[in-house]
């Protein structure tokens, strides 16, 4: 059951970090000027990406192995929910991520505001996927 605990802890860390971004960091970022908000978003995005990718890999892999070893489909469901963050990010969020990364702080405009607002809304889905996985993992315990 150690693999299940690892999957659960990684999902909890991911969900907590994602929730913090939605609840505190992004709203605070949006209280800055648009150029400052973009300037803050870029390094924050890169750091969060490194951490959250690792947490998704650890949680999904541990959940998958827990499902295989225990025969309990709930671990697999949680693992799929965590792993769903990858295609969601690549397909849905990456166009906005790339547009924001390519925008120079001195070139911000109305489209930058729209992209940052949309980014915050779409990031909430990642929080939801993590929370769902976390609840399923708790159920599997």
**What's the number of CA atoms in the CB half-sphere (13 Å) around residue 1?**
4
Q: What is the pLDDT of residue 52?
A: 96
pLDDT the model gives residue 60: 99
Chunked mean pLDDT (size 10), the chain, 141 residues:
97 98 97 96 95 98 98 98 98 97 92 96 97 99 95
Residue-level pLDDT at 1 = 86
Say which residues have a Cβ less than 8 Å from residue 89's Cβ, sequence separation at least 6.
97, 126
Cα separation, 47 vs 99, in Å, equals: 18
Whether 63 contacts 137, CB under 8 Å = yes
Model's pTM, two decimal places?
0.94
d(CA 23, CA 37): 16
């Amino acid at each position: 059951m150690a693999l299940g605990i690892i999957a659960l802890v990684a999902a909890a860390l991911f969900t907590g970090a994602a929730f913090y971004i939605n609840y505190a960091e992004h709203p605070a970022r949006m209280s800055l000027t648009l150029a400052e908000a973009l300037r803050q978003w870029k390094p924050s995005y890169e750091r969060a990406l490194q951490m959250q990718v690792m947490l998704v890999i650890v949680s999904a892999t541990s959940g998958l192995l827990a499902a295989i070893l225990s025969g309990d489909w709930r671990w697999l469901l949680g693992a799929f929910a965590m792993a769903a963050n990858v295609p969601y990010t690549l397909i849905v969020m990456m166009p906005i991520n790339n547009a924001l990364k390519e925008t120079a702080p001195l070139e911000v405009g109305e489209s930058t505001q729209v992209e940052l607002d949309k980014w915050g809304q779409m990031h909430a889905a990642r929080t939801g996927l993590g929370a769902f996985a976390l609840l399923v993992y708790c159920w599997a315990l």
